[in-house]
C-alpha cells in the first residue's frame, strides 16, 4: 500500500474519477470531493472493493466559499494528513461573451480558480512544514491560448498554468512539487454540460479517453514533471500554436468551438471512455 493520501476534487466523474482510480490502483488512501454524496459513495465502494484502499468522501460544492475551510477542518479533526492535493474540479460554458450570463462566468472563476487557490492555501503550508507533498492542478491546453466562444474558460486555465509554474519556482528549495495536467479534448461530461458535443472540438478533433489522461497525469505527478500534456496531437498543437500570433490562435480556436457540419455529427459522449480499458 502507498502511504501518501490523495485528496481529489471533482472525483465523482470524468478525469477526476479516473484520476482517483489511478491513485487507488497504486494503493493510495483517498479523500474524494464532489457535490453529490451518493455519487461519491458509489465510486468509493468500487475502489474499496477492487483495490482495498481506504476511501473517505466529503460532499461539498466548491463554489461555496465556506466549503474549502469545512473540508480542511473535517480532515484536521479526524487526523487525516493530505500528502497529495489534486485540484481537478472545473467546468466551462460555451457562447458569445455578451450572451453568456454573468453568473455562468463567475461560476467558472469560483470553481476553476478560487477553489483551487483556497484549497492550496489551506493544505500547502502543512506540506511545507512537514517537508513533503505534491500538488496536481488540472489545467488544459486551453490555458496556452485565447479561446473565443470559450473565453472565460480559457482565461481560467491560463491562470492555473501561470500560477502553477510560479508556485513551482517558489517551491524549488523544498521537497514539494507542482504539476499542471494539460489535457486537450477529453471524452467526459464536460462536453455535455458545456453544450459542446456538437462542436468541432468534440466531433472532429483528436479526443482522448479520460483513462489515458488520468494515467498520464498520475505518472507525471510521480515523476515530478511541471507540465503534462497527454497525447501526441495535443503536444504538437501546443508546440505549433506557440509560434502563432495571439490573433491567429484566437481565430483557429473560434472555428474549433463552432458546431461541426451535419455530416460530421457522428460521435456520442462516452464513445472513447467506454472503448478504453486501463490495466
Active site residues: 153
Tell me how crowded residue 239 is: count the other CB atoms within 10 A of its CB. 11
Contact predicate 229/213, CB 8 Å: no
Record the cell numbers describing residue 120, joined without a space.
492550496
**Full DSSP string of 84-109:** EEEE-------S-TTTS-HHHHHHHH
Record the cell numbers describing residue 44, joined without a space.
468509493
Rounded-to-integer distance, Cα 134 and Cα 151, Å: 30
Residues 6+ apart with CB under 8 A from 211: 18, 21, 273, 276, 277, 278
Alpha-helical runs (H) found in 131-270: 151-170, 189-193, 200-203, 210-222, 232-241, 246-257
Contact predicate 115/216, CB 8 Å: no
| Cα distances (Å, whole numbers) of residue 186 to 16, 42, 54 | 12, 23, 28
Cell 472540438: give the residue: 201
Record the cell numbers describing residue 4, joined without a space.
501518501
Record the cell numbers describing residue 234, joined without a space.
495535443
| Cα distances (Å, whole numbers) of residue 24 to 17, 49, 202, 209, 272 | 10, 11, 29, 18, 22
Amino acid at each position: 500500500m502507498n502511504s501518501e493520501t490523495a485528496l481529489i476534487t471533482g472525483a465523482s466523474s470524468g478525469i477526476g474519477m479516473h484520476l482517483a482510480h489511478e491513485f487507488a490502483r497504486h494503493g493510495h488512501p483517498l479523500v474524494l470531493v464532489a457535490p453529490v454524496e451518493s455519487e461519491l459513495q458509489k465510486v468509493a465502494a468500487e475502489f474499496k472493493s477492487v483495490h482495498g484502499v481506504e476511501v473517505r468522501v466529503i460532499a461539498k460544492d466548491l463554489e461555496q466559499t465556506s466549503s474549502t475551510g469545512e473540508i480542511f477542518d473535517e480532515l484536521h479533526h479526524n487526523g487525516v494528513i493530505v500528502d497529495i492535493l489534486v485540484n481537478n474540479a472545473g467546468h466551462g460554458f460555451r457562447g458569445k461573451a455578451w450572451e453568456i450570463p454573468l453568473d455562468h462566468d463567475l461560476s467558472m472563476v469560483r470553481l476553476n480558480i478560487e477553489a483551487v487557490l483556497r484549497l492550496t492555501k489551506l493544505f500547502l503550508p502543512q506540506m511545507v512544514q512537514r517537508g513533503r507533498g505534491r500538488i496536481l492542478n488540472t489545467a488544459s491546453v486551453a490555458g496556452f491560448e485565447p479561446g473565443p466562444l470559450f473565453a472565460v474558460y480559457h482565461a481560467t486555465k491560463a491562470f492555473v498554468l501561470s500560477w502553477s509554474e510560479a508556485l513551482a519556482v517558489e517551491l524549488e528549495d523544498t521537497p514539494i512539487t507542482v504539476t499542471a495536467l494539460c489535457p486537450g479534448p477529453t471524452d467526459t461530461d464536460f462536453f455535455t454540460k458545456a453544450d459542446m458535443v456538437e462542436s468541432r472540438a468534440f466531433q472532429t478533433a483528436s479526443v482522448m479517453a479520460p483513462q489515458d489522461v488520468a494515467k498520464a497525469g498520475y505518472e507525471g505527478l510521480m515523476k515530478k514533471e511541471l507540465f503534462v500534456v497527454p497525447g501526441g496531437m495535443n503536444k504538437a498543437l501546443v508546440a505549433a500554436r506557440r509560434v502563432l500570433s495571439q490573433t491567429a490562435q484566437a481565430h483557429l480556436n473560434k472555428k474549433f468551438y463552432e458546431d461541426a457540419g451535419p455530416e460530421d455529427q457522428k460521435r456520442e459522449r462516452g464513445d472513447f471512455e467506454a472503448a478504453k480499458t486501463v490495466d
